[in-house]
Amino acid sequence: MKLANYITVIVFFAGLLMGMGTPTPITNTLASLTNSLLLFLLFVAGYYLAFHLEEFYYGLRDPQVALLVSSTLIGGGLAGLLGSLVTSLPLRESLAVSIASGWYSFAGAYIGAYDPLGGLVAFVGNLVREALTLAIYPVLSRKDPLLGVTLGGATTMDTSLGIIARHAGPRIAGVAFAHGLIITLLISLLIPIIYP
């Protein structure tokens, strides 16, 4: 494993440990800083991809995007079924939480409007999914760069796009962007159907 992969995981867990004991005012400041850094990350990913537009566009048109989207949604559905069996969440709520594919802000708010505990589960579960993608994608990309795209879910069009582009290149970044965009559109329709 490369040193950069260890550093990514170490930094993630160091932040997690520090955040457990951080007072709220500092957390609010860090949230604001995080949003700015994520926007900068998207800028850097776009700048990088501008030098590789042909490969990026090829990735956008890659037929594997449909397979990845299907795999992400089927995997989310199966996780929701399993989740309802091993937790106290009702089936519809568990499906909505798991099919959100990392879009914690939408799933948490939508489900939380009906059930605060379910909203918290949706928020935290999907936030953890995004964090895991950022932490372990560098390792997954060496074995199979597309496998990590399914893990990233909806985040592959924004927050995790930079790390995907860095570790898998512009063609896979194009695939990831298309995957994240389609997943985002689909789950914004599916969650209200599953959990009306």
Taking the model in full, what pTM does it have?
Answer: 0.74
Report which listed range, 10-24, 33-47, 50-64, 90-104, is most confident.
90-104
pLDDT at 53: 73
pLDDT at 68: 94
| Average pLDDT of the segment spanning 62-81 | 94
Q: How many helices (H) and strands (E) does the chain have?
A: 10, 0
Q: Which of 45-49, 151-155, 181-185, 186-190 has the lowest mean pLDDT?
A: 45-49
pLDDT in tens, 111-126: 888 888 888 889 888 9
Question: Within 13 Å and on the Cβ side, how many CA atoms surround 181?
Answer: 9
Answer whether residue 78 shows pLDDT above 90: yes
Report the 10 Å Cβ neighbour count for 141.
21
Answer whether residue 64 shows pLDDT above 60: yes
Q: Determine what percent of the chain is predicted with pLDDT higher than 90.
A: 35
Residues 6+ apart with CB under 8 A from 152: 102, 130, 133, 137, 160, 164, 176, 179, 180
